[in-house]
Chain A
Amino acid sequence: MSTEAAEQERVLSSEWGGGRSPFGINWPKLMMWLFLAQDTLTFAGLLSAYGVMRLSIGRWPHQAEIFSLYLVGAMTFILICSSATMAVAVAASKRGDHSKVVPYLLLTALGGLLFLGGQYYEWTHFIHEGARLFTNPWGIPQFSATFFITTGFHGAHVALGVLYLLATVWRWRRGRIQPESVEIAGLYWHFVDLVWVFIFTLLYLI
């Protein structure tokens, strides 16, 4: 009995005993992290399905002949830069360096728009060459299906991210949000960049 009481005492006085924040962050940020952990599942599912299909089919069109690696490289460059400007915006909001927050957030949104422009160009080009969701001139229907679905999902994340950033700018300027909200928007934006790292590597380079 006394060991039970001692155990209870031990739990209650630990970080998990209530009244304290065991993760050391507030709930909005924790929720964003949990959302990102589950959104990883979405992309991991798409990318592993691609892996299974590609392995089981055995042949695959040569991507470098179909997509321009320069364009994709430039899009990657833009996304990495926008992630860096986002990191600066978050740090500036936390340090009270308020003149930097809005310009860097807008730069980040601009990076997102440029990325979407590149993707628009790439899709248009790809469709003009005859690629459709379930058919394409290269003889392997799964090739265009994975391309459209995976980059489409990612592009939708970027588009939503741009809206999220613009909403953050608007709310920051009106003084409605704390630096923490900018940081949470930043987590989402970095995640979009993170996913692109894997799409770029697996879909275009390998």
Chain B
Amino acid sequence: MAEQGHEGGYRIYAVTWFWLLAITVLELAVVLLGIPKVLLAITLIVMAILKAALIIAYFMHLRYEKLSLVYAVVVPMFFLAIVLFSGVGPDALSVFNLRR
């Protein structure tokens, strides 16, 4: 339920669109800059999460939904990230150590 601007209130989408594009351009710029690999990976992942948050909050309207729905949707995603990492992370890291 959009609370703000019922008439001609498409501005929020234009603003979201602008920021998504701006972050994308920044992402490409960071890649072309040639900074150290680990720093690059962290910067890019933070930017990707920012873009994802913009899409979910404004395009998918989750910001205007009830808090119960927000929790029902967002919590499993974090939970999933933790489960996936604890499942595959140790394997990846152990091979990483073996190689060294």
User: Given contacts A84-B14, A84-B17, A86-B59, are A198 and B52 in contact (CB under 8 A)?
Assistant: yes
From A5-13, A40-48, A162-170, give the one contacting chain B: A40-48
- Whether B92 pairs with A55 at a CB distance below 8 angstroms is yes
Residues of B within 8 A of A (CB): 2, 6-7, 9-10, 13-14, 16-17, 20-21, 24, 27-28, 31, 40-41, 44-45, 47-48, 51-52, 55-56, 58-61, 65-66, 68-69, 72-73, 76-77, 80-81, 84-85, 88, 91-93, 95-96, 99
Please, how many residues of chain A have a CB less than 8 angstroms from a CB on the other chain? 49
Interface string of A173-206 (1 = CB under 8 A from B): 0000000000100110011011001101110011
When distances are taken between beta carbons in the complex, the residues of chain A under 8 Å from B17 are 80-81, 83-84
Residue of B nearest to A81 (CB): B17
- Whether B27 pairs with A49 at a CB distance below 8 angstroms is no
- Whether A201 pairs with B48 at a CB distance below 8 angstroms is yes
- Whether A49 pairs with B6 at a CB distance below 8 angstroms is no
- A159 CB to closest chain B CB (Å) equals 20
Total A-B contacts with CB atoms under 8 angstroms apart: 128
When distances are taken between beta carbons in the complex, the residues of chain B under 8 Å from A191 are 60
- Whether B56 pairs with A194 at a CB distance below 8 angstroms is yes
Besides A23-B66, A37-B76, 15 other A-B contacts (C-beta < 8 A): A22-B68, A23-B72, A44-B81, A44-B84, A48-B88, A51-B88, A55-B92, A55-B95, A56-B92, A88-B10, A91-B2, A94-B2, A190-B56, A191-B60, A200-B27
User: Given contacts A15-B68, A23-B66, A205-B31, are A33 and B52 in contact (CB under 8 A)?
Assistant: no
Cα of A52 to Cα of B77 in the assembled complex, Å: 19
User: Given contacts A33-B69, A44-B80, A201-B27, are A87 and B48 in contact (CB under 8 A)?
Assistant: no
- Whether A25 pairs with B84 at a CB distance below 8 angstroms is no
Residue of A nearest to B2 (CB): A91
Q: Is the interface of A mostly helix, strand, loop or mixed?
A: helix
User: Given contacts A73-B24, A77-B24, are A190 and B31 in contact (CB under 8 A)?
Assistant: no
- Whether B48 pairs with A197 at a CB distance below 8 angstroms is yes
- Whether B28 pairs with A69 at a CB distance below 8 angstroms is yes
- Whether A194 pairs with B24 at a CB distance below 8 angstroms is no
- Whether B48 pairs with A80 at a CB distance below 8 angstroms is no
When distances are taken between beta carbons in the complex, the residues of chain B under 8 Å from A186 are 59-60
When distances are taken between beta carbons in the complex, the residues of chain A under 8 Å from B84 are 44-45, 48
When distances are taken between beta carbons in the complex, the residues of chain A under 8 Å from B59 are 83-84, 86-87, 186, 190, 193
